Amino acid sequence: MVSADGSKAMERITTSHNNQSPSSFSPDGNLLVYLENYAGDKRQNYDILIYNFQDKSTTPFAATEHLEVYPVISPDGRWIAYCSDEEGQIEVYVRSSSGTGKKIKVSREGGLSPLWARSGKQIFYRWREQMWVADVKNGAKFSVGRPRLLFEKSGLGRHSGRRGYDISLDDQRFLMVMWKEKESQPATEMILIQNWFEEIKRLVPVEN
């Protein structure tokens, strides 16, 4: 962790032999939901954990033999949407951010990369090259409506394990990373840099 304004030195907040990557902060900044991936007996697996900045504790949120990925906290901090393949095909679920209570299934025929609307009244997710949305009610009891297709776009489903898209503050526009095939270009120029190692030592001196 490092301060955005650079006022504090970099600080390590978790320790693990596995790869870890941040995914979502709670609105009050007290919780960080992150992924930890490790090599199991048959495949790489991912678990979802929560780090509490107040008491510096780490709590498993979804840590099973199944794949659990793409966690994102709701705008009010009460819920976490995430993906799991516990039913065979990967789907989108919602569960209380406290880690208690039953999970609620959002998608129906596969789902990845969930994202809450800024209003908290909808959950977006993608499946292959399609973008889906489900209405949610977040009162005394959480409930989710039947998902409906928003749009389909070539290249939408082809990116890395990161979500690859976000939504505007007014919930009206998406900013998306799209996959596009790039035509190969023949090399027409070669640049030769001499004594580059000496230049590095000049710019970044090593103290003995």
β-bridge mates for residue 32, sequence order: 25, 51
The pLDDT value recorded for residue 160 is 58
Q: Is CATH 2.130.10.10 the right assignment for the domain spanning 19-203?
A: yes
Side chain identity at 70, as an amino acid letter? Y
| pTM of the complete model | 0.78
Query: Quick one: which H or E segment has residue 197?
Result: helix 196-203
Domain segments of the chain: what residues? Answer: 19-203
Residue 181 token pair: 């095939």
The pLDDT value recorded for residue 104 is 92
* Residue 38 pLDDT class (50, 70, 90 cuts): confident
β-bridge mates for residue 104, sequence order: 94
Helix, coil or strand: residue 29: coil
pLDDT tens track for 25-36: 999 888 999 888
pLDDT tens track for 81-128: 999 998 989 999 999 988 888 899 999 999 999 999 999 999 999 998
